[in-house]
Amino acid sequence: MTGLPREDVPAYRVWALPGIPEVRAGDDLVKVIASAAGAEGLPGLADGDVLLVTSKIVSKAEGRIVRAADREAAIDAEAVRVVARRGTLRIVENRQGLVMAAAGVDASNTEAGTVLLLPEDPDASARALRAGIEDALGVEVGVVITDTFGRPWRSGLTDVAIGAAGVRVLDDLRGGLDTHGNPLNVTTVATADELAAAGDLVKGKTAGLPVAVVRGLPHVVGDDGTGARALVRAPADDMFRLGTSEAVREAMTQRRTIREFTDDPVDPGAVRRAVAAAITAPAPHHTTPWRFVLLESESSRTRLLDAMRDAWISDLRGDGFSERSIAKRVRRGDVLRNAPYLVVPCLVMDGSHTYPDERRNAAEREMFVVAAGAAVQNFLVALAGERLGSAWVSSTMFCADVVRSVLDLPAGWSPMGAVAVGRASGAARERPARSASSFVEVR
């Protein structure tokens, strides 16, 4: 008994290559890998084998180490498009066309003050390794350069192919039949990714084994010139390239008025990104009638809210409310006082038209107010996309002069309420079911 399956049973072997030293800029990876593969006790390399090489050692050999005190700046330089962001985590499309976290910029296993970038052209790197191994050892192998990816809708990480040479990276089964005779219309197998994941099982993330060998799958090896670039979905076929419809619907569905917040600080960058979304709102006459006052210090929030409370109490007393009734109404402002961050959106009428007819002037202002509301709606939805809760409270509109005075705002700025921002302290209430047809009239 050999412990191996019969020859007619599909099977393959995969093993890691021990003994690979720390790779430095300028090292000859072909010599390093050939030496490790020929070590005593290992089967060596043979025609039809596939080499699975971690991108990190390729990057090091190619000198893709750069000085960067700020990793974020290095990510900016490598990214061509931000696909998704949550806090400091960014999923981006990098210059190689790969959509991944942090553009593949790695600050681990490299000297302090440096970061490691992905190979400039992973497919070219794979071709060079394949040709070098053939010259050095006289064997025809496939080469897959791998990197670690997260995946949408799935927890955990796995290795995938970012470069390949001499490997059939995709196995297109479309047009064939399954075992029941049904036509296969969409099945294309990512063979190179499957190889990368198989190698990761023996390489591991912390074992210091950056290269693995797969044997027993010679049918995947050959002169395939497409490279791993073929695994990158074309923009026209990518249903989630922008994710606009899905993301907006999800953010709008998740948006709730939150009245109780945790003490967790709010990322000012997240608020500024929400402002960037807010100012895409439509506005009359090609104007920009929005301003957002960000109250980031506790002292500024307390100063404003105290002044607003005093003004509100004065107004309520003037209206004849009892002290008990006044206290009850004032408590409604606690949602602002308990929030760790406040934003006061303001309307400016710069660029508005003036007419001799007051009716038209009133309509002009209404147009600008509607534009301000559209901007605040964008702002609230964008905050929800950042996993921040919010509550839009109208109180600043009832004491505009006080708000302008405390915040030292221009006379022409009209506060359009205040937005409390923070992390929700608990699950939001379920929104009552609403049928869109109840809000529609067709003529």
DSSP string, 139-158: ---EEEEEEEEEETTEEEEE
Dump pLDDT digits (tens) for 379-416: 999 998 888 999 999 889 989 999 999 999 999 999 99
- Residue 256 CB contacts under 8 Å (≥ 6 apart), including other chains: 384, 389, 424, 428, 429, 431
Dump pLDDT digits (tens) for 196-230: 999 999 997 667 899 999 999 999 998 777 899 99
Tokens of 380: 């609230």
Query: Is the pLDDT confidence value at 2 over 60?
Result: no
DSSP β-ladder status, 50-54 and 142-151? parallel
Q: Which residues are bridge partners to 100 per DSSP?
A: 92
- Residue 49 CB contacts under 8 Å (≥ 6 apart), including other chains: 139, 141, 142, 213, 214, 215, 221
Distance of CA 243 to the CA centre of its chain: 11
Q: Exposed, middle or buried by CB within 10 Å (0-12, 13-18, 19+), for 385? A: buried
CATH 3.40.109.10 residue spans of the chain: 244-439
Percent of the chain with pLDDT over 90: 60
CATH 3.30.1330.100 residue spans of the chain: 13-64+118-237
Query: Is the pLDDT confidence value at 250 over 70?
Result: no
Min mean pLDDT across 185-189, 244-248, 283-287, 417-421 is at: 244-248
> Is 266:438 a contact under the CB 8 Å cutoff?
no
For the 244-439 domain, the top CATH level (class) is: alpha beta
Give CA–CA dist 255/253, Å, rounded.
6
What's the Rg (C-alpha) of the chain? 31
Residue 89's pLDDT is what? 82
Residue 20's pLDDT is what? 92
DSSP β-ladder status, 114-116 and 65-67? antiparallel
1 confidence band (pLDDT: 50, 70, 90): very low
What do you get for the CA distance between the two ends of the chain, in Å? 82
246 confidence band (pLDDT: 50, 70, 90): low
Torsion of CA 262, 275, 351, 366, to 10 degrees: -50
Give CA–CA dist 56/340, Å, rounded.
42
pTM of the model as a whole: 0.68
Nearest to 143 by CA among 170, 168, 118, 117: 168
More confident position, 249 or 208? 208
Give CA–CA dist 158/164, Å, rounded.
17
Instruction: Pick left, alpha or beta for residue 128 (phi over 0 → left; psi -120 to 50 → alpha; otherwise beta).
Output: alpha
Residue 244's pLDDT is what? 55
- The stretch 309-333 carries a mean pLDDT of 86
- Residue whose pair of structure tokens reads 């794979």 in the numeric block: 126
- Superfamily holding 13-64+118-237: CofE-like (3.30.1330.100)
> Is 36:19 a contact under the CB 8 Å cutoff?
yes
User: Taking all residues of the chain, what is their mean pLDDT, rounded to a whole number?
Assistant: 89
Phi, psi of 349 (to 5 degrees): -100, 15
Residue 53's pLDDT is what? 97
